[in-house]
Amino acid sequence: MSEDYEFEDDDQPVSTPSKDSGGGSFDAFADEDVGAPDKPAPPAPKPSTPSSEAASSDGGFDAFADGDVGDADAGDADIKPGQGKDMWKCPHCGAKNKKGRENCRACGKHPDEEVIVPLMSQKPVQIGVAVGAVVILYLIFAIVTAKDLSLRSPGADSVTDDFIFEGEMIAGSGRVMRYTAGGGNTDVIVVFGYEINGKEFKDLKGPNKNNEVTRKGFGIQPHIRLSVSGKVSSMKRGDYVSFSGAASTDDASTRKYKTSAEDMQFEVASP
């Protein structure tokens, strides 16, 4: 047996149109007006500071990323043409800074701090290094081009192309062309050149009236005439002889030099 139930005014069900939840299934929020979802606000741009740029490239933790890295002025990075007259140059690193800045934006030093110049950048040091290099090069050149004025051991292997004259010193090694001694003086003519080791030596002629030694078909053969004051070791034509010592000449073109037995050393060897 049913009874009619009367609703109070406050108990009357409210009939509201339900939203289609799709597929006819129950939707607990079908009657709720949830509205359009709010879009998330875009993140605020991060300020461009040296600390944000200091983050490690691999995304790792940087203990100093938010630290105070100095008082660099962001405006210093935007140096425009024409501002040079209002800027000062750092005496330490050469960077240019805007007027009013106390410390250099690049090296952080104050312009009044003592400027430390690297040793190799100092002019006296640079001059000293340059002079030292020139001296070393000169010594190397002198050693390489130095003339050997020592007394050689006479023999076929020691024959020189010609005699050597440097300053007041003379030296050479060759074969005796002529030897004369008398009156306390000695006159020696020595010829040079590798060809005098063979039979060509017999083809030598001279000295002639011009004090020249010639070889048939080849002209003048390198030679020297030594007029020695005093007696020297006896020698004969064809002997190998080496000499070294002080000598002088009135005319180098004559190949005639004056010396003394005390100033000139001789060594003689038979062929």
pLDDT digits (tens, 9 = 90+) for 1-42: 445 555 445 555 555 554 444 445 555 555 555 555 555 666
Count of beta carbons in the 10 Å neighbourhood of residue 179: 19
SS3 assignment, position 149: coil
- In the chain, % of residues over pLDDT 90: 21
For residue 263, give the nearest of 222, 223, 227 by alpha carbon.
227
Report the pLDDT averaged over residues 215-241. 87
159 has pLDDT over 60: yes
Q: Which domains does the chain have, with CATH numbers?
A: 156-269 (2.40.50)
SS3 assignment, position 220: strand
Contact, 244 vs 149, CB < 8 A?
yes
Record the tokens describing residue 55, joined without a space.
């983050």
242's CB contacts (< 8 A; 6+ apart) are 151, 152, 153, 154, 158, 171, 172, 173, 266, 267
Q: Cα–Cα distance between 244 and 119 in angstroms, integer?
A: 49
Record the tokens describing residue 35, joined without a space.
């509205």
Contact, 256 vs 248, CB < 8 A?
no
pLDDT band for 245, please (50, 70, 90 cuts).
Answer: very high
97's CB contacts (< 8 A; 6+ apart) are 76, 87, 88, 89, 90, 104, 105
SS3 assignment, position 15: coil
Q: Cα–Cα distance between 92 and 114 in angstroms, integer?
A: 9
260 has pLDDT over 90: yes
Q: Cα–Cα distance between 71 and 55 in angstroms, integer?
A: 18
Count of beta carbons in the 10 Å neighbourhood of residue 214: 17
Kindly report the average pLDDT of the chain as a whole number: 75
Residue entry with tokens 């000695």: 186
228 has pLDDT over 80: yes
Cα dist from 10 to 6, 13, 31, 200, whole Å: 11, 8, 20, 153
pLDDT band for 100, please (50, 70, 90 cuts).
Answer: confident
Higher pLDDT, 223 or 80: 223
Contact, 74 vs 60, CB < 8 A?
no
